[in-house]
Amino acid sequence: MTEGSPAPVLRAFRRRDLRAMPGFKAMAWLCIIALYMPLAVLIIFSFNDNRSVVRWTEFSLDWYAKALANDGIRNAALVSVKIALFATVISTVVATMAALATTRTRGFRGQGLVYGIINQPLMIPEIVTAIATLSLFALIKRLTGVTGVGYLMMAHAAFCIPFAYMPIRARLETMTLTMEQAAADLYATPLKAFALITLPLLGPGIVSGAMLAFVVSLDDVIITLLVAGPGETTLPIYILGAIRRGITPEINAVSTILVAVSVLLVVLLFFVQRRMQR
């Protein structure tokens, strides 16, 4: 073997490659099966003609028709979408400003603490966040006498901020300052440079953060369960109440629709990111 041959380097790389380790493929398939088999069972039995969710009889779309005709499900879905859209807009705007403030400035004392404060809600148990939010809003309601769905919207928006912040900050950290500095050299104002340079380049991160925030808000249960008032039943809360009366293929049908929406968002995100990176 000649000196400088790449063969030893390739062998060393293969030794470090996880895919070359014994049992890696089997473990990967085991994880995939554990994650997606319950979803497969749910989707299959949502097309079951029988009311039972464990005994298959024949293919039917009746449960989807019943779910779509159910006024309770439609009202809950509408409430969920309204809250999720509001939370997505607010959390994405705040997360974008926070990401810019922590990545497009010189390093400062306590920067690590700021990162920790922004991401801390991800580490705190959600039930603790829900109880704290409930206590704060109860105090505000007592002092102001103001009630309404706005409290639930603000709770969702606050909870979604760190989820939107992560992909936006990750995108900013991969962007160099070269083009922004070039725009400044050409006498562009900071606002114009942001609008014409930074914002378009940041687009994939903003879209990723917004979609993640939307999904997190759409399927939240714990915060909604404690903060929601009368007439503020979201779709997850409706499903939770229906399950207590017994699981039916109608619930499977609604859950399958939620899975389809999530998959659609992921596919849309993939194509948007590819288009923006061209």
31 and 134 in one domain?
no
**Pick from 31-35, 108-112, 176-180: least confident:** 108-112
Please name the residues in contact with 115: beta carbons below 8 A apart, sequence gap of 6 or more: 102
Residue with tokens 């995108």: 171
Average pLDDT over the chain, rounded to whole? 84
Query: What does the angle CA 196 – CA 93 – CA 100 come to, to the nearest 5 degrees?
Result: 60
The dihedral formed by the CA atoms of 109, 115, 120 and 123, expressed in degrees to the nearest 10:
-120
Compute the chain's Rg from CA coordinates.
24
Percentage of the chain modeled with pLDDT above 70: 91
Question: Taking a C-beta distance cutoff of 8 angstroms, is the pair 80, 152 a contact?
Answer: no
167 and 140 in one domain?
yes
Q: Is residue 52 part of a domain?
A: no
Q: Is residue 79 part of a domain?
A: yes
How far apart are alpha carbons 4 and 235 in whole angstroms?
63
pLDDT of residue 91: 95
pLDDT of residue 276: 61
User: Does residue 3 surpass a pLDDT of 60?
Assistant: no
The model carries a pTM of 0.82
Higher pLDDT, 43 or 19: 43
125 and 14 in one domain?
no
Q: Which domain holds residue 13?
A: 7-45
Q: Is residue 53 part of a domain?
A: no
119 and 14 in one domain?
no
* Nearest residue to 155 via CA among 93, 96, 99, 84: 84
pLDDT of residue 246: 75
pLDDT of residue 57: 85
How far apart are alpha carbons 184 and 27 in whole angstroms?
52
Percentage of the chain modeled with pLDDT above 90: 31
72 and 40 in one domain?
no
246 and 187 in one domain?
yes
CATH number at residue 146: 1.10.3720.10
Tell me the mean pLDDT in the region 94-99.
92
Q: What is the pLDDT of residues 147-176, one digit of tens each?
A: 889 999 999 999 999 999 998 998 888 887
Number of domains in the chain: 2
pLDDT of residue 229: 85
Q: Is residue 152 part of a domain?
A: yes
Q: What is the pLDDT of residues 163-222, one digit of tens each?
A: 999 989 988 888 877 887 888 878 788 888 888 888 888 888 898 899 989 999 998 999
Q: State the alpha helices, DSSP H only, in the chain.
A: 7-16, 24-45, 62-69, 71-103, 111-123, 126-144, 150-173, 178-185, 190-193, 199-218, 222-227, 235-243, 249-276
